[in-house]
Amino acid sequence: MAVNTHNAYGQISITDETIAVVAGHAARDCYGIVEMVSRKFTDSVAELFQKDSQSKGVKVATNGDRIYIDLFVIIKFGVSIKAVCESLKEAVKYHVEKFTGMIVDTVNVNGIGIKL
C-alpha cells in the first residue's frame, strides 16, 4: 500500500517500503539500539537473499493518511529500556512525519532482546 496526499502541485504517493527505510534509519541512530531484527523467521530467510535490507525490523501499515509503525529491536545492556523506547518512538515519529508530511498515529517498540 501507499500513503497518498494531494496539494496544489498534484498527488504525492509514498510507499510503505520507503517509510520503513526512513523509520529504520532513524531507529538505528538512536542511543541504546544495537540492531533491528526480523519480525518472523520467514522474514529472516527472505533477507538472506537481499543485498541490503534497510527496512529490517520495521513494519509499516497505513490507513488513509495515517501511518502505523512497529519496530523490532535489540537493546543495549545497561541502559534504561523505558528511556530508550521513548526516545526511539519520538525520533522515528519526528523523522517520518518530517519526511512524509503526514501524521504518524502510533509507533510500537518491540524489544526482542538485549546484547552486551
Domains of the chain: 2-115 (3.30.70.1350)
Q: What per-residue confidence (pLDDT) applies to 104?
A: 93
Greater pLDDT, 38 or 80? 80
Q: What is the mean pLDDT of the chain?
A: 86
- CA distances (Å), 80 to each of 18, 19, 26, 75, 77, in order? 30, 27, 19, 9, 9
pLDDT in tens, 78-103: 999 999 999 999 999 999 999 988 88
User: CA-to-CA distance for 61 and 33, rounded, in angstroms?
Assistant: 22
- Is the pLDDT confidence value at 48 over 80? no
Q: What per-residue confidence (pLDDT) applies to 4?
A: 81
DSSP labels, 19-63: HHHHHHHHHHTSTTEEEE--SSHHHHHHHHTSS--TTTTEEEEEE
Greater pLDDT, 51 or 31? 31
Task: Reduce the DSSP state of residue 102 to 3 states and report it.
Answer: coil
Greater pLDDT, 95 or 47? 95
Q: What per-residue confidence (pLDDT) applies to 83?
A: 95
